[in-house]
Amino acid sequence: MNSRPLNSEEEQNLEVVRSAVGDFALLFVTETGLRKSILDATLPLRTLLKEKGVHDFNNQRQGPDNKVVVPVRFVSNSKIADSRCSLYRPITKHGDPRLWPYGLVEHCSPNDVFAVFCHEGKVHFLNLTVSNIDPNLGSYSIQEGIEGVDTQTYSLGEALPRRDAATSILSSIQGRFSTTAKSLLDKLRKIADCGPLESVCTGDTAIGRSIETALGISINSNKNPDFNGIEIKSYRSSKPRTGLITLFAKTPDWSRSYVKNSRDYLAVAGYERNGIKRLYCSVFANNQNSQRLQLNLNQTANDLEEIYDNSPKKVIAVWAMDNLHAEFRRKHNETFWISANTELIAGREHFRLKAVTHTQRPLVTQFDSLIVQGQICLDHTIKEKNGRVVDKGYLFRVRSARMPDLFAGKPRQYDLL
């Protein structure tokens, strides 16, 4: 995959794009690609086009007769230009997906990078290298009534008032906040004002259960977001930046996996400790763990694979990335991440609510990227005792410092102390 580190100006532009449009993919233009006007359709780009209903390369046959042409728009500071782009799979090289944006050479130079996003049926190529987008776009807060910003749209060729072309088009499509967030924030502040919250149970889940109980949310197996569409995730503020925060749980596609259930997992990769057979470990893509397990993102099949190198069948479990994306979007369309200080009072843990990180619009392309980088892992929580196998879910978790990267825009921070 062609890539390079973004410079500071490109990073700043990209932050504004993320805030305004949500899902995006980066497209790096090499000298060879520009000369031929043919670029690789990388997995993040293919995922974006599929998620937005523009095109699914998986269903496309090889050869020029099966190419698909879609409308696109090139965006920079100076102009917005409509064009077209061919999406196809050549006969050669296993039909690796390609794209051919018409007139590409007029809108970039070698080593430029585009942020690609979709809006109103068109694929937009915004040149991050040559643009200078207003960094204050969308800098409004929940306390200001959640009304959004300027949403006026402009026709091509029309004079743009004060703002450049790139800033104006992003302003016109910027998302808005959920009004439910204001209600939830008010409730949390009232709970915080009452002082330390006594734990309703013990263990890792105590903080989440205690806060949900205080909010009047019953503990059940419902997998939908907790508060009128907003997911609530709680964690102790002592958690280090390298610590892990659970995003969601998802079982493998058993029908396509070598292991067919949790008992099989123990038989293949488990270990014994204190007379109990168990598999408790984190599995990453960037290195093999002590149990010789490792993740692999199979870009060709669009699957996440778990590899165990001590097994005749090295790929022992498979998750379809489409299923992981769907669960991530469903669970975290809008989320309050609540941190709390802990203290012991009369020998029982209490929680003093500290702050909220408010995120919206999950970025599935970033989800894939963080898996590859080793910032998202799979946690196993399986054990067998007295012949009974228990698992607490196949947990997908992210390092706490990288959690904000999974969502559009800069997360809003609210103090509760």
Sketch the domain layout of the chain as residue ranges: 8-172, 180-415
Q: Which CATH class is domain 180-415?
A: alpha beta
Q: Tell which wins on pLDDT, 11 or 205.
A: 11
**Hey, is 288 helix, strand or coil?**
coil
For residue 120, pLDDT over 70 is answered with yes
Residue 103, pLDDT above cutoff 80: yes
Q: pLDDT grade, residue 147 (50/70/90)?
A: very low
- Mark 84-106 as b/e (b = at least 16 C-beta within 10 Å): ebbbbbeeeeebebbbbbeebee
| DSSP SS3 for 17 | helix
Alpha helix segments (H runs only) across 257-376: 262-269, 321-331, 364-372
Q: List the single range of 201-210, 259-268, 289-298, 309-318 with lowest mean pLDDT.
A: 309-318
Mean pLDDT of the chain: 86
| DSSP state string for 289-309 | -TTSEEEEEETTTTEEEEEET
Among residues 77, 75, 57, 76, the alpha carbon closest in space to that of 67 is found at: 57
User: CA nearest 352: which of 232, 209, 230, 236?
Assistant: 236
Q: What's the pTM?
A: 0.67
Q: Report the C-alpha gap between 128 and 118 in whole angstroms.
A: 16
The mean-pLDDT minimum among 60-64, 121-125, 201-205, 353-357 falls in: 201-205
Helix or strand or coil: residue 327?
Answer: helix
Query: Mean pLDDT throughout 304-329?
Result: 90
d(CA 277, CA 275): 7
